[in-house]
Amino acid sequence: MRIGIFGAGGQGRELVQPLRESLTGQADGAQLVFIDDNATEAILPVLRLSGMSAGDRFLCAVGNGRRRQEIERRCLDAGLQPFSFFAASSYVADTVEVGPGAIFTQNTVATADARIGRQFLCGVYAYVSHDCVIGDYVTLAPRASINGNIHIRDFAYVGSGAVIRQGTPDKPLVIGEGATVGCGAVVLGDVPPGATVVGNPARALK
């Protein structure tokens, strides 16, 4: 069996060492490769998607959620299966539900009773706190801080160092579908679908 990292760019290269470490000593002898129709040289063997076999696994190492959705569709159509990766230094509580294809990189955290959709990408030192609901194809850049009772809709992107204030059980704070939270933003209220917010406190870009 092969495990293909789709995309030989920066995000993909960052996954190589922790993936290698997690696979060391496994009896099935999985081979780690890049899937990339354009790259020709990399630190791993590079295959086109057509060179993979049904039953092989894939990870979407791409920061854009809509692009991950497209990649996932292509891989599933080719008979590949999504592979979820949890770095050794990550912590995901037993009560957290995680959809297929999630990537939890080094020193990431998801705590009590969070629910996380498919193809989630969690950058280094990012965390998801209790009772959050995260949609599909959501991206948390490094050190994004998602406090308790926050709902993040599909395709949202939360930038590096952003902090989202905690909601409440009866009124969770909502980041709308396709919204972008800028790097270092401090979000104190709901973000509409498709909006981009920046600053402290975060305000929408016109």
Per 3-state DSSP, the chain is made up of helix, strand and coil in percentages (nearest 5) of 15, 30, 55
130 is catalytic: yes
Secondary structure (DSSP) of 40-100: ---SS-EE-GGGS-TT-EEEE--S-HHHHHHHHHHHHHTT-EE--EE-TT-EE-TT-EE-T
Q: Which of 13, 74, 115, 130 is catalytic?
A: 130
DSSP 117: -
Catalytic residues: 130
